């Protein structure tokens, strides 16, 4: 679990931070009186005893070499005791003195040595934690924290490590025992069969289950359905593993996905079978979700192609109708001419002015009238044969359910499933069609009138499939056993849990539980914001004004006025910063932050080789520069096998997030960081990258890609660090993902306000942000054209606000909001307490129609919040400027990422979502390392300037971005020599700043 070097490190004093120094090494008067009783205790003993007292509270034990305590701590205690800090060197030469002082310190603080009872309590605690987490490092830290909370002196690290090892072993046995009833003889045979090469598919079933689709095609859908049927044949969908904690199940499944079949075969049955069983249960849910997602994607792709064909047809139809339009113009010129007698109209049309030839030609080229949808469904009918390749399989393999709103649709799905099973072609006369939208109903009526059973079947079936897809998106239809398409009610806190947590939630977000009070507060906010906008419009000549027709005119913001002093200062700082290869930068940042220690083995192993950090840096650079492991192996001299093994077992989203947090935490503590921003404002935006090869996340988008690509959606603080990254489909609404990283933010950054561009805005988001106690501050394109709302009558609004009132075009349904106020709070509470994923709920609520009362109420409340925001935005130029400045920070980081991801023309070559997500996080991690390194050296350069008597204002520094790569070399030879790089640093631990060339 731990090497000898690591065990020795655990016996010594660690490095101490500023907060720990002040928290634990500040002596109260009683502490001073205890350490210095005024008789018989020399300066060295007093200082040594003080170190022991403070160290016991800090570490939970006192290292044997008290004299090796951090120098800053010794100096601080010496100042308080008024002794020379150098006397600590002569302390504790007799072991008896140290032992006696530890006994006295423990007695004074109320601590006790570990006895059999305390060790037993520790074992019970560790077993409970080991059932949730298998990481030895984490368990060791939790054990130390438990002992500190119990005021028990930590025994030697070997003793604690043995208790951790014992807890892990007992947890493994406990896991097997809890699942023992599942391991029947037949089940064991089936689990072992997963590890044997199946001649039918040419690989083991374990590997087969782990291979995800790379495209939404009939073959891919059928392949996933085959997996689903195989898993159901093993009763994987019926497994109930709730006897194990969720974290334990996730850990076992992760290990199962990474281990080869041979490695699993070598493991003893007590470890092998739980891993395979949890992997089966997780696969059953994931494959079911994949089947439904592929059904949606494949059907939507064909519908999109049908829409393109329809538009092409309409364009050709318009061209062919130009002659008829000219004829109509000629006829109208005759008919509308008052000088032409009525009796002469017909003769002029049929004679010299128009003529029979043009009339007959126009009559013969007459086109049939367009259906209500302009031919969209008819164009989709051209893909009917393609859809039939997989839709019957999906309907047969997946069970759909829903509420009363979807009853008719579900009946139609059951009829279609029966038609597919029996081979019947005619849709029953009593088959429901109420779910068919009005724009498609004409097709069914025409087919029924013509008695065309085939046409009716085609159109009716297409309507069923489209309605089923839309129902799955809105949540009106759900799939039992699914995670992504589950019953929407499962995403909300239950009534009982909500009753217990309502008061706590309202306190956290500052919202009243009473609807009347909540609406009254919102209305006061609205009137205040409208009053400020009224004052702005009254000036009449500002950037926000009304034109002669009473329409809103919003002049664009001028470019941000960056002081010339800031531009000059940045150039000067750039000249002072040292040059560093990207490898050296990562080594240097790890020395100060320890971010590479966050990469832990997925299987729970703890011992780390000396080369591990070297290998991790190579993998991170291979991913973030897009070189790939093969070319990185050639570039750095580390074999591909070693890099691939390191990437497989250490580099995953969980560890990348933890390493990113370590960098952000260090960046927050740098002296220069508060100059950039408070850390309470953030923004999010998508960045598009082209892809190579097929992938279910890639889409064609001619505006951004030559072929196909995807988006990374990132969240950035006003201090220039990126705290969230997510891979999303480039054609999906970015607004669905805005809240995900804000609510899942594990940093110490207290985000209270968030900016986006137009793509991140929906009424649902406006409503949810406010209900969660946050402020959504977007920059909306064509803001003057959006609908603004009022709470009362139009006349009252125009009386109160003569200029602004006429802009409030619609009245809010406040009764609907009041009726569902508690449900709205419960919805927000479910997100706040992590009961549901924001993107999942926002997507379903945004797609829901007016028939969903909760969604309708949320959109009404969102309309109210958007009106408040708009009035505030238009009346406050500083607010507009702040939002624009924050979004520009995100763009500067995008530019840095494009520079970094240079290889293979920046094309993402990972085919599956997991690999793409890991690469996106590697890119984010290295980008944050660059930002942190630059911020730190900017600070050193500024400090040197100020020490030389130069005045540099923080207001000027705020305009300088650390998203800066001029001093960093991303290219060239890559040699990861950690010891060599660290040896080049100065005694202070930094690279020396460059001396500016002042000759020119």
Task: Provide the pLDDT for residue 998.
Answer: 43
- CA-angle at 914, arms to 912 and 919, nearest 5°: 100
Task: Provide the pLDDT for residue 996.
Answer: 61
Q: Is residue 56's pLDDT more than 70? A: yes
Please list the alpha-helical segments (H only) found in 336-450.
Answer: 342-350, 356-364, 376-381, 384-387, 391-397, 407-422, 438-449
Comparing C-alpha atoms, which of 401, 437, 519 is closest to residue 825?
519
Distance, in Å, from the CA atom of 394 to the CA atom of 583, rounded to the nearest integer, reads 50
Residue 832 CB coordination number (10 Å)? 21
Which residues contact residue 556 at a Cβ distance below 8 angstroms, ignoring those fewer than 6 apart? none
Asked whether the beta carbons of 996 and 576 are under 8 A apart, the reply is yes
Q: Is residue 315's pLDDT more than 90? A: no
What is the rounded average pLDDT of the residues 276-287? Answer: 94
Comparing C-alpha atoms, which of 544, 576, 541 is closest to residue 557?
544
Q: Is residue 40's pLDDT more than 70? A: no
Task: Provide the pLDDT for residue 339.
Answer: 84
Provide the 3-class DSSP secondary structure of residue 378: helix
Q: Is residue 777's pLDDT more than 50? A: yes
Tokens of 58: 């800090």
Q: What pLDDT, in 10s, does the model give residues 552-563?
A: 888 887 656 678
What is the rounded average pLDDT of the residues 49-72? Answer: 91
Task: Provide the pLDDT for residue 39.
Answer: 64
Asked whether the beta carbons of 908 and 689 are under 8 A apart, the reply is yes
- CA-angle at 604, arms to 630 and 146, nearest 5°: 140
Distance, in Å, from the CA atom of 403 to the CA atom of 409, rounded to the nearest integer, reads 10
Tokens of 494: 């239950």
Tokens of 846: 């945004």
Comparing C-alpha atoms, which of 899, 687, 682, 867 is closest to residue 780?
867
Task: Provide the pLDDT for residue 707.
Answer: 87
Q: What is the 3-state secondary structure (H, E, C) of 638-651?
A: CCHHHHHHHHHHHC
Angle, to 10 degrees, between the axis of helix 438-449 and the axis of helix 453-474?
160
Tokens of 661: 């947090």
Which residues contact residue 503 at a Cβ distance below 8 angstroms, ignoring those fewer than 6 apart? 513
Tokens of 526: 């609205």
Comparing C-alpha atoms, which of 672, 675, 623, 628 is closest to residue 651?
623
Task: Provide the pLDDT for residue 606.
Answer: 65
Q: What pLDDT, in 10s, does the model give residues 604-641?
A: 766 678 899 999 999 999 999 999 999 999 988 899 99
Asked whether the beta carbons of 228 and 291 are under 8 A apart, the reply is yes
CA 276 to chain centre: 29
Residue 394 CB coordination number (10 Å)? 24
Q: Is residue 950's pLDDT more than 50? A: yes
Reported confidence tier of residue 770, pLDDT bands at 50, 70, 90: very high
Helical (H) or strand (E) element with 790: strand 789-790
Q: What pLDDT, in 10s, does the model give residues 233-242?
A: 999 999 999 9
Task: Provide the pLDDT for residue 705.
Answer: 82
**Cβ-count burial 214-246 (b if 16+ within 10 Å, e if not):** ebbbbebbbbbbebbebbbebebbebebeebbe
Mean pLDDT for the chain overall: 90
Q: What is the 3-state secondary structure (H, E, C) of 202-239?
A: CEEHHHHHHCCCCCCCHHHHHHHHHHHHHHHHCCHHHC
Count of residues in the chain? 1000
Q: Is residue 999's pLDDT more than 50? A: no
Q: What pLDDT, in 10s, does the model give residues 379-395?
A: 999 999 999 999 999 99
Task: Provide the pLDDT for residue 38.
Answer: 67
What is the rounded average pLDDT of the residues 335-357? Answer: 83
Q: What pLDDT, in 10s, does the model give residues 462-507?
A: 999 999 999 999 999 999 999 999 988 888 999 999 999 999 999 9
Question: How do 775-776 and 753-755 pair as beta strands?
Answer: parallel
Angle, to 10 degrees, between the axis of helix 269-320 and the axis of helix 157-179?
70
Provide the 3-class DSSP secondary structure of residue 552: strand
Which residues contact residue 419 at a Cβ distance below 8 angstroms, ignoring those fewer than 6 apart? 425, 427, 457
Cβ-based burial of 568 (10 A; exposed 0-12, middle 13-18, buried ≥19) = exposed
Comparing C-alpha atoms, which of 959, 933, 890 is closest to residue 741?
890
Distance, in Å, from the CA atom of 776 to the CA atom of 360, rounded to the nearest integer, reads 62
Q: What pLDDT, in 10s, does the model give residues 195-208?
A: 999 999 999 999 99
Distance, in Å, from the CA atom of 852 to the CA atom of 868, rounded to the nearest integer, reads 25
What is the largest distance, in Å, between two alpha-carbon atoms of the chain?
134
Q: What pLDDT, in 10s, does the model give residues 882-899?
A: 999 999 999 999 999 999
Comparing C-alpha atoms, which of 468, 492, 465 is closest to residue 479?
468
Distance, in Å, from the CA atom of 66 to the CA atom of 86, rounded to the nearest integer, reads 13
Provide the 3-class DSSP secondary structure of residue 880: helix
Task: Provide the pLDDT for residue 330.
Answer: 84
Task: Provide the pLDDT for residue 1000.
Answer: 36
Angle, to 10 degrees, between the axis of helix 269-320 and the axis of helix 322-335?
40
Asked whether the beta carbons of 936 and 670 are under 8 A apart, the reply is yes
Asked whether the beta carbons of 753 and 522 are under 8 A apart, the reply is no
Distance, in Å, from the CA atom of 102 to the CA atom of 27, rounded to the nearest integer, reads 17
Q: What pLDDT, in 10s, does the model give residues 643-695?
A: 999 999 999 999 999 999 999 999 999 999 999 999 899 999 999 999 998 99
Tokens of 420: 């597919």
Comparing C-alpha atoms, which of 466, 475, 470 is closest to residue 443?
466
Q: Is residue 997's pLDDT more than 60? A: no
Task: Provide the pLDDT for residue 590.
Answer: 93
Q: Tokens 């779910």 map to which residue?
A: 435
Query: How many percent of the chain have pLDDT more than 90?
Result: 66
Which DSSP state fits 726?
E
Query: How many percent of the chain have pLDDT more than 70?
Result: 98
Dihedral angle over CA of 363, 367, 372, 377, nearest 10: 160
Greater pLDDT, 893 or 1: 893
Asked whether the beta carbons of 3 and 607 are under 8 A apart, the reply is yes
Question: How do 580-581 and 968-969 pair as beta strands?
Answer: parallel
Q: Is residue 1's pLDDT more than 70? A: no
Q: Is residue 845's pLDDT more than 70? A: yes
Phi and psi (nearest 5°) for 2? -135, 145
Distances, alpha carbon 441 to alpha carbons 368, 382, 438, 446, 448, in Å: 18, 18, 5, 9, 11
- CA-angle at 479, arms to 474 and 485, nearest 5°: 45
């Amino acid at each position: 679990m731990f090497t000898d070097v690591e065990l020795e490190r655990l016996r010594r004093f660690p490095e101490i931070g500023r907060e720990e120094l002040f928290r634990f090494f500040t002596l109260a008067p009683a502490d001073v009186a205890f350490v210095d009783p005024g008789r018989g205790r020399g300066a060295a003993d007093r200082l040594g005893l003080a170190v022991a007292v403070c160290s016991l509270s800090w570490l939970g034990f006192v290292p044997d070499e008290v004299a090796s305590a951090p120098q800053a701590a010794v100096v601080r205690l010496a100042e308080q005791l008024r002794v020379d800090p150098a006397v600590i060197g002569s302390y504790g030469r007799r072991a008896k003195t140290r032992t006696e002082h530890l006994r006295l310190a423990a007695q004074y603080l109320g601590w006790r040595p570990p006895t059999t009872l305390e060790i037993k309590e520790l074992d019970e605690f560790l077993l409970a934690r080991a059932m949730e987490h298998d990481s030895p490092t984490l368990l060791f830290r939790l054990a130390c924290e438990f002992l500190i909370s119990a005021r028990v002196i930590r025994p030697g690290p070997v003793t604690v490590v043995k208790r951790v090892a014992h807890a892990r072993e007992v947890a493994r046995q406990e896991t097997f025992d809890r699942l023992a009833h599942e391991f029947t003889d037949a089940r064991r045979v089936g689990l072992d069969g997963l590890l044997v090469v199946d001649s039918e598919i040419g690989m083991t079933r374990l590997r087969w289950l782990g291979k995800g689709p790379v495209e939404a095609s009939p073959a891919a859908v059928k392949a996933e359905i085959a997996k689903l049927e195989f898993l159901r044949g093993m009763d994987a969908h019926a497994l109930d593993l709730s006897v194990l904690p969720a974290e334990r199940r996730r850990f076992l499944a992760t290990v199962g996905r990474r281990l080869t079949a041979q490695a699993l075969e070598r493991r003893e049955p007590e470890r092998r079978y739980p891993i395979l069983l949890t992997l089966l249960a997780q696969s059953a849910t994931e494959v079911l979700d994949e089947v439904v997602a592929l059904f949606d994607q494949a059907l939507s792709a064909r519908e999109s192609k049908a829409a393109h064909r329809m538009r092409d047809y309409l364009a050709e139809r318009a061209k062919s109708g130009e002659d008829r339009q000219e004829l109509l113009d000629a006829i109208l010129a005759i008919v509308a001419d008052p000088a032409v007698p009525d009796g002469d109209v017909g003769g002029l049309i049929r004679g010299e002015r128009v003529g029979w030839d043009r009339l007959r030609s126009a009559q013969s080229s007459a086109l049939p009238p367009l259906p209500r949808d302009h031919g969209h469904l008819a164009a989709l009918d051209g893909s009917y044969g393609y859809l039939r390749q997989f839709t019957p399989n999906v309907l047969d393999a997946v069970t759909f359910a829903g509420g009363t709103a979807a009853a008719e649709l579900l009946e139609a799905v059951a009829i279609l499933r029966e038609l597919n099973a029996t081979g019947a072609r005619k849709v029953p006369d009593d088959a429901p069609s109420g779910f068919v939208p009005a724009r498609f109903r004409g097709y069914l009526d025409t087919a029924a009138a013509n008695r065309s059973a085939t046409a009716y079947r085609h159109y009716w079936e297409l309507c069923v499939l489209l309605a089923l897809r839309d129902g799955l998106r809105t949540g009106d239809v759900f799939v039992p056993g699914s995670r992504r398409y589950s019953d929407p009610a499962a995403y909300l806190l239950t009534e009982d849990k909500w009753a217990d947590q309502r008061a706590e939630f309202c306190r956290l977000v500052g919202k009243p539980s009473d609807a009347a009070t909540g609406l009254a507060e919102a209305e006061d906010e609205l009137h205040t914001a409208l009053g400020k906008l009224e004052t702005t419009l009254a000036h009449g000549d500002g950037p926000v004004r009304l034109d002669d027709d009473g329409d809103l005119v919003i002049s664009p913001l001028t470019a941000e006025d960056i002081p010339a002093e800031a531009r000059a200062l940045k150039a000067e700082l750039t000249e002072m910063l040292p040059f560093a290869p990207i490898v050296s930068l990562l080594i240097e940042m790890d020395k100060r932050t320890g971010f590479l220690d966050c990469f832990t083995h997925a299987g729970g192993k703890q011992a780390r080789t000396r080369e591990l950090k070297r290998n991790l840096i190579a993998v991170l650079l291979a991913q973030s520069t897009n070189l790939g492991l093969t070319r990185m192996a050639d570039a750095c001299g580390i074999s591909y096998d070693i890099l691939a093994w390191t990437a497989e077992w250490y580099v995953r989203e969980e560890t990348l997030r933890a390493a990113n947090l370590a960098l952000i935490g260090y960046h927050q503590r740098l002296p220069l960081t508060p100059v950039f921003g408070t850390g309470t404002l953030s923004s999010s935006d998508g960045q598009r990258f082209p892809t190579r090869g097929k992938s279910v996340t890639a889409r064609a988008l001619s505006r951004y890609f030559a072929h196909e690509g995807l988006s990374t959606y990132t969240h950035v603080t006003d201090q220039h660090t990126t705290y969230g990254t997510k891979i999303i489909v480039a054609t999906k609404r970015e607004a669905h993902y805005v809240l995900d990283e804000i609510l899942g933010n594990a940093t110490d950054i207290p985000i209270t306000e968030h900016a986006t561009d137009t793509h991140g805005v929906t009424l649902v988001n406006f409503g949810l942000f406010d209900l969660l106690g946050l402020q959504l501050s977007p920059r909306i394109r064509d803001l003057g054209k959006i609908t603004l709302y009022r709470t009362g009558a139009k006349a009252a609004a125009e009386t109160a606000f003569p200029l602004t009132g006429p802009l409030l075009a619609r009245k809010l349904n406040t009764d609907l909001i009041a009726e569902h106020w508690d449900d709205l709070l419960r919805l927000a509470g479910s997100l706040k307490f992590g009961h549901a994923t924001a993107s999942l709920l926002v997507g379903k609520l945004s797609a829901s129609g007016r028939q969903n009362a909760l969604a309708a109420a949320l959109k009404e409340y969102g309309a109210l919040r958007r009106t408040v925001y708009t009035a505030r935005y238009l009346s406050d130029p500083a607010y507009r400027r702040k939002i624009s400045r924050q979004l520009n920070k995100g763009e500067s980081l995008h530019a840095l990422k494009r520079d970094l991801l240079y290889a293979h023309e920046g094309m993402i070559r990972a085919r599956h979502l997991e690999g793409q997500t890991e690469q996106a996080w590697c890119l984010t991690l290295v980008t944050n390392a660059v930002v942190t390194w630059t911020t730190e050296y900017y600070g050193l350069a500024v400090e040197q300037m100020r020490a030389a008597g130069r005045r540099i204002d923080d207001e000027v520094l705020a305009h300088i971005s650390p998203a800066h790569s001029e001093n960093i070399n991303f290219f060239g030879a890559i040699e990861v020599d950690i010891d060599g790089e660290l040896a080049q640093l100065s005694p202070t631990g930094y690279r020396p700043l460059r001396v500016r060339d002042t000759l020119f």
